[in-house]
Structure 1
């Protein structure tokens, strides 16, 4: 592992029925980073996270977390090693209260027999997760009545309660109001003080406000990496997002057209 690196991905490729969804990606994420992954639809962002978390098996390459290879491990083993993720659609138990959801998430390291005992008080891990997400005032409210943003915060809190060192968040502000996006940005900034966070995101304004380091993926490859300003100024990024033509430019695939249209004017 490189000095200070928490996650190292090398020469990673994923092939689905002959289509190379990921094509030789190299990625290094340092301890304590708040890293954003961006790119048009079909760039390979979610597939990369699927490989890191054991959901998808790569054709080639290695994924090392704190020096240990993750490729070939089962999803629950990777969770126990300290890697947690959210999905584009929040996954919470609607009939359970906020605190019960958090307590259930925090219990994954406890023996099975202990789960049948009645909860007595709130553990430190659950209390900390409620406080950082701002859900302590909603502790006894059923998750099913929460707003969209509150459900996303609950899912993030459920990850935090598990004590991960790396959090992978897939489009955490999708569908949120402006106030909820702002609150989520503040939450990610706070979480990144004690965790390493990788965020898949399409919201360029959100990225401008909260990202420190950015990796741009395109057609399964790393297009460029750097600070927000460096990425925004990169001609290749502008070409991918805005469709600017160059003599040596490849044609943007048709499936990327929607992403190009929605982000036009946002990168520059």
Structure 2
């Protein structure tokens, strides 16, 4: 994907630092995240990837600048960041397992409804919920409890919950961890379907998934950006090979 296909939305991060009592978990990071591009964030454990996302979503304090739609995320609270159109998933899917797939999506959609409208019983399924069900491929399971879904389906439901919130910037934390090969492929195709209108950042360790679906890659190491570029660029980078790719390949071989 070339820059000519990128949309107008972007998140510009400059000199982002997260300091925990003198330990810089994120140290002066500069990254630009563009709409329309599957941006993968990789690096060894402890590289600062999740802490970076925590700072951008209001879960930890950071310094520097992180500008999205003329707002500095580092000065906002987490609920304000959500209302700005930014959402995330976690390594373990956080769905309401006793509720149906449809009810999970409806609750998520209620984020942007008034309290009065949320209390009213609706006889029809809201259009954004129907569209999300179709997009994530769970229409046939709409009335089944979320708890009975397969692992991959729960992750798709979480992505659907971000879709009905109209999240324009999504952070997905190890979305395909534990998935079967078919589930990984379906997840990659799902992300390709929805990325044109939004910015998607995937924190990932699965190198095969990255090679198949990443448009752009940022490699972090010890809280800093080690390298950026296409999949081919980072695979060819000697520093990346030394600190990460060799370890990742070895883990994939033996794990």
Short-chain TM bin:
over 0.9
Q: Tell me the equivalent position of 1:164.
A: 167
Aligned residue for 2:197, secondary structure, equals coil
Alignment partner of 2:184 out of 176, 181, 184: 181
Q: Does 1:78 align with 2:81?
A: yes
Aligned residue for 1:96, secondary structure, equals coil
- Offset of 1:260 from its aligned partner? 7.4
Alignment partner of 1:24 out of 23, 28, 38: 28
Q: Tell me the equivalent position of 1:6.
A: 10
| RMSD (Å) for aligned C-alpha atoms | 1.8
Q: Tell me the equivalent position of 2:93.
A: 90
Q: Tell me the equivalent position of 2:251.
A: 262
* Distance in structure 2 (CA, Å) of the matches to 1:203 and 1:26: 24
* Distance in structure 1 (CA, Å) of the matches to 2:149 and 2:251: 29
How many residues are paired up?
249
* Distance in structure 1 (CA, Å) of the matches to 2:192 and 2:245: 29
* Distance in structure 1 (CA, Å) of the matches to 2:18 and 2:26: 5
- Offset of 1:194 from its aligned partner? 1.9
**Which stretches in structure 1 are left out of the alignment for 5+ residues?**
244-256
> Once the two structures are superposed, what CA deviation does each residue of 1:114-173 show, in whole Å capped at 9, x if it has no partner?
222223211111011101100111000010111111111001000001001111100000
- Structure richer in helix, relative to its length: 2
Normalized against structure 2, the TM-score is what? Answer: 0.93
Normalized against structure 1, the TM-score is what? Answer: 0.89
* Distance in structure 2 (CA, Å) of the matches to 1:126 and 1:64: 29
Q: Does 1:50 align with 2:54?
A: yes
